[in-house]
Amino acid sequence: MTTTTPTLRRDLAISLGALLLLLAWDLSGLDLTAAHLFGTSQGFPLRDSFVTSRLLHDGGRMAAWALMALLVLATLLAPPVDEPGHPSRAERWRWIAVMLVAIVAVPAIKRISHTSCPWDLSIFGGTAEYVSHWRLGVTDGGGGRCFPSGHAVAAFGFFGLHFLWREHDAKVARAWLVVVLLVGGFFGAAQLARGAHYPSHTLWSAWLCWVICMGAAQWLPRGTRRVHAATA
């Protein structure tokens, strides 16, 4: 593992600060308050709407895989010789692998979770009772498998593009970070409106994807990066 650098210290500070904010949100109990903004005793009216269900959920998932396909194609077409200011082909492949890990790992946690979706709660016309996702192993009477948000990973899994570019072109790296955060926020809002997830589910997905990418940035080979950074 590399020694501690200003970049690593900044990444760790961001991760720790975000974690503290997440824990504060969990303690606030505002998940249910947020769900009540869209849900009634008869359910969630926007659950099957075109915008939330077809466009932002189904369409968002297809867009994520389309982007991944474009990244693979761009990597295949990238010049085999390293160019200043651009990631090498090898770096691109490594970060595609990291992003795939994030896209698969977070939904894998979701599949073993006992936490049910908001639309499963009795107060919203379902059968489950609200149980904090921190009460590990405690079932809520619903179907579970709803924490963290798997759909949000269709955006947050691409945090790797920020890490890929930040040592080569800071503007491109920042642009990817903004896009990923905005799209992830839209996906999370759509799932909240549908009753599919609480805000915390989306926020935890974002944090987990960030941490996976941050860890990978420290463990991946750095020789090529230093050459590019020095010549950029």
Task: Provide, rounded to the nearest whole percent, the portion of the chain with pLDDT above 70.
Answer: 93
Q: pLDDT digit string (tens) for 4-32?
A: 688 889 999 999 999 999 999 999 999 99
Is residue 153 included in any domain, yes or no? yes
C-alpha distances out from residue 201 to 51, 113, 195, Å: 20, 11, 12
> Position of tokens 């949000």?
152
Is residue 159 included in any domain, yes or no? yes
pLDDT of 125 > 50? The answer is yes
Is residue 35 included in any domain, yes or no? no
Find out whether 51 and 191 touch, Cβ atoms under 8 Å.
Answer: no
Of residues 86 and 228, more confidently modeled: 86
- State the Cα–Cα distance between residues 51 and 95, nearest whole angstrom: 31
Is residue 53 included in any domain, yes or no? yes
| pLDDT bracket for residue 222 (50, 70, 90) | low
Is residue 221 included in any domain, yes or no? yes
Domains of the chain: total: 1
| pLDDT bracket for residue 198 (50, 70, 90) | very high
Q: Picking from 4-8, 44-48, 109-113, which range would have the lowest pLDDT averaged per residue?
A: 4-8
| pLDDT bracket for residue 167 (50, 70, 90) | confident
Q: What is the pLDDT of residue 2?
A: 45
Find out whether 161 and 217 touch, Cβ atoms under 8 Å.
Answer: no
> Position of tokens 């890929």?
164
Closest among 147, 144, 146, 140 to 123, alpha carbons compared: 140
Q: What is the mean pLDDT of the chain?
A: 92
Q: What is the pLDDT of residue 227?
A: 39
Helix ranges (H only) for the chain are: 6-28, 30-36, 59-77, 89-111, 153-156, 159-165, 170-194, 199-219, 223-231
Is residue 99 included in any domain, yes or no? yes
- State the Cα–Cα distance between residues 163 and 220, nearest whole angstrom: 11
Is residue 64 included in any domain, yes or no? yes
Cβ count within 10 A of residue 77: 8
Q: Does the pTM of the predicted model rise above 0.85?
A: yes
pLDDT of 131 > 80? The answer is yes
Q: Show the tokens assigned to 209.
A: 């994807």
Q: What is the pLDDT of residue 199?
A: 98
Q: What is the pLDDT of residue 229?
A: 40
Q: What is the pLDDT of residue 220?
A: 86
Which residue range(s) make up the domain with 120? 41-79+92-231
Find out whether 132 and 124 touch, Cβ atoms under 8 Å.
Answer: no
Is residue 16 included in any domain, yes or no? no
